[in-house]
Every structure is written in C-alpha cells, then in structure tokens.
C-alpha cells in the first residue's frame, strides 16, 4: 500500500503554520523587550528575525498569486535577513555585543548577488544562494553559542546544548541546498508538493519552536544570573556583600582541611568620617568607589573582594601565606595613598590601614581568621594609620 502524494494545499498549509509560529514568536519577543524589559537588544533582534522569517514565508507562499516583484527577490532577501538577525541576536545574548555592521553587510551582499542574477536563470540558483547563506549563518551562530555557553558552564547545567537547534537548522538548510544539485527536478520552491518539502516544512516548524524556546531559556538563565549577582553584590562598590563574602570565607576554610590554605587582608579607609563631615556623603561614596578601583589590579581572579560594612573591606587570598598577603597589602596601601580624591576642584588625600592574617589548622572557622585580621587592622590604626600590620 503506497502513501498518497502530497498536495499543493498541504505544503501551503505547512508554510502558513511555520509563518504563523514565527509571527507569534515575534510578538513574544517584543513583549519581553518592551514590556518586561528583558535583554532589550537581543529580544528586539530576535523579534526582527522572527518577523523577517514570517514575512519571507508569507511572500513565498504567495508566489504565483501576487506579482513576482513582490514575492521573489524580497522573499529571498527577507529569508537571509532572518538568518543574519538570528546570528546577531545569539551574539548579543552570549557576548553582550550586537554587531549590526556584519549583519547589514551580509544581507546587502546576498541581496546584491540575487539581484545580479540574469533573467531566465535556473530557478534553483536563488534557492541555493538563500539556503547556502542561511546554512553558513546559522552554523556560525551555533558555533559561537556553543563556545561562549560552554565556557560559561558552571557544572550545574549544560547551556551549550542550547546551541543544538541552530546546528539542526543549519543542517536542514544545507540539505535543501544539496537537494537542488542532486535532484534535477527540484526547483527549490517550498510550495512544490514533494515528500522532501513536506519533511523540510515539518522540520522547520519544529525547529522554529525549539530555537525560540532555547533562546528564551537562555534569556531566563541570564535573568537568573543577573538576580544572583545583585543578591551577592554591594550596590555602591560592586564588591561582594557581607553575606556573599562570609559564604566564600567558609568555603575557603573548608578547603583548609584538605591542605589548601588562605590569608585575609582587612582594609579600612582612614579618616572616613572626617571626609564625610567635610565634603559630604556623596564624596565619601566616591572615595570608596575610587579606593576599590585602585585596589582591583591587586585582586586575582581566584580572590574574593568584599565589603564588610561602611568603609571596611576584606580580600580573601586562596593559596596564600602571611608573606604573600603582606606583599599584596603593601602594594594596595601604596596605590590608595598615591591617588587623592578629586572633589569640587580640590584634592583630598586618601589612605587606608591594613590588617593581615593567615588561616591556621587550629582555627575553628573562618570567623576566627577574620577576627585576627581585624585585630591586626586595629593595631594598624593605633600605629598612626596608612600602615600594614599582622
């Protein structure tokens, strides 16, 4: 028993279904961008990509009904634009950069190439150009997403798998390109009622859903990551807040039991109350931000820099002894002292006092090490400030 051959109505219906899905996705991304204000640039770019795809498929379905000038070249250019915009949106989500120049140049180059095709050219050539360009663009977007998301994986999730729909879409477009070469009767027209076109349209329908769902999940992950960061950061200086620093300290102390030591550098800005009383609290805030900026070059990627309260900060130095902590603290002291605060056309000298301590096997917890560093800081204050004490 043989299966019935596809009819033109089936292909047009599937084309309409894919276009409608892309149109709904456009509305969803617009709502995320304009109402929820989530990942504004990336969401708007994805809305544009889905809109271009919906319009391209709609015009493709109208070929033979509406004038060719409206349904052929515009449809092909919009299709390529949708793939280029998809790649730009992925870049915006994974690297936080949006490259309009690359997108514009790519679409312009393909549009010019399509326009330059001579009259009466084999109708498979426009399909080859559009599908080939789409396959390349989505492959590049998938590789970018795979690399960036894989590098950001934290062990709790596997975000690189979110690039899979892009690879599958690239594979589908490559298959359509190859089909125009191996099948002499192919016209590269999705309206043709063939088993291959039906399979491609069903695959496109599923991939549009998967692709938008995966990117929506990526946006959600970014939102959760941003919330987690806000919960862990001091809003004024962008250092760890007290709660997040205490968690990092206890984790470091747990590693101490496995032979991995650490040291603490306590930091307190000198005469901070006098600065506030003289220049105002805005100047005090500026002084704290400046001090943190001056100290950042001394902080390694593995270190943890936190604000404990007021003008008091602490740096956790994993795999560091008291001698290493002393060198770090002395460099910090010199940097702060060398950079006065410029405020209202006057310079206010800044300095800080430092207390250092090294974790010892007998310490019950991180709080014991912190208490020793705090005591050393108190001795530094008593010695006249702008000194390092252990």
Which residues belong to the active site? 311
CA gap 78, 92 in Å, rounded? 20
Question: What is the 8-class DSSP label of residue 298?
Answer: G
Token couple for 377: 């800081």
Residue in this structure with the two tokens 């063939």, named with its chain if needed: 194
Smallest CA-to-CA distance from 265 within 369, 161, 130, 175 is with 369
Token couple for 54: 């919906």
Q: Check: CB of residue 214 under 8 Å from CB of residue 165.
A: yes
- Taken as a whole, the chain contains a residue count of 390
322: which residues sit within 8 A by CB, 6+ positions away? 263, 356, 357, 358, 390
CA gap 375, 368 in Å, rounded? 11
CA dist 356 to 111, 238, 261, 313, 369, Å? 65, 22, 14, 12, 9
């Amino acid at each position: 028993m043989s299966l019935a051959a596809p009819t033109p109505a089936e292909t047009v219906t599937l084309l309409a279904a894919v276009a409608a899905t892309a149109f709904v996705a456009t509305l969803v991304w617009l709502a995320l961008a304009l109402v929820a204000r989530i990942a504004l640039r990336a969401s708007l770019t994805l809305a544009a990509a889905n809109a271009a795809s919906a319009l391209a498929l709609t015009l493709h379905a109208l070929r033979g009904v509406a004038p060719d000038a409206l349904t052929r070249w515009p449809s092909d250019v919009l299709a390529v634009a949708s793939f280029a915009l998809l790649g730009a949106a992925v870049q915006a989500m994974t690297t936080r950069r949006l490259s309009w120049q690359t997108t514009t140049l790519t679409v312009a180059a393909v549009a010019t190439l399509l326009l330059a095709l001579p009259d009466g050219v084999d109708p498979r050539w426009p399909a080859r150009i559009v599908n080939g360009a789409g396959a390349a663009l989505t492959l590049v977007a998938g590789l970018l997403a795979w690399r960036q998301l894989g590098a950001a994986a934290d062990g709790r999730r596997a975000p690189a798998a979110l690039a899979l729909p892009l690879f599958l879409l690239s594979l589908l477009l490559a298959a359509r390109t190859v089909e125009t070469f191996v099948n002499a009767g192919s016209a590269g027209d999705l309206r043709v009622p063939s088993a291959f076109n039906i399979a491609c349209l069903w695959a496109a329908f599923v991939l549009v859903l998967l692709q938008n769902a995966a990117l929506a999940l990526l946006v959600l992950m970014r939102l959760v990551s941003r919330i987690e960061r806000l919960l862990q950061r001091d809003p004024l200086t962008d250092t760890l807040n007290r709660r997040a620093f205490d968690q990092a300290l206890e984790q470091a102390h747990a590693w101490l039991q496995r032979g991995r030591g650490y040291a603490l550098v306590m930091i307190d800005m000198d005469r901070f109350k006098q600065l506030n009383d003289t220049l105002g609290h805005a100047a005090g805030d500026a002084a704290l931000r400046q001090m943190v900026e001056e100290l950042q070059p001394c902080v390694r990627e593995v270190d943890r820099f936190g604000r404990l309260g007021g003008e008091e900060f602490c740096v956790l130095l994993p795999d560091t002894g008291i001698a290493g902590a002393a060198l770090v603290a002395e460099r910090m002291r010199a940097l702060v002292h060398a950079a006065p605060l410029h405020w209202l056309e006057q310079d206010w000298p800044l300095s800080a006092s430092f207390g250092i301590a090294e974790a010892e096997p007998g310490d019950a917890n991180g709080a014991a090490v912190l208490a020793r560093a705090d005591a050393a800081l108190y001795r530094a204050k008593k010695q006249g400030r702008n000194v390092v004490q252990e």
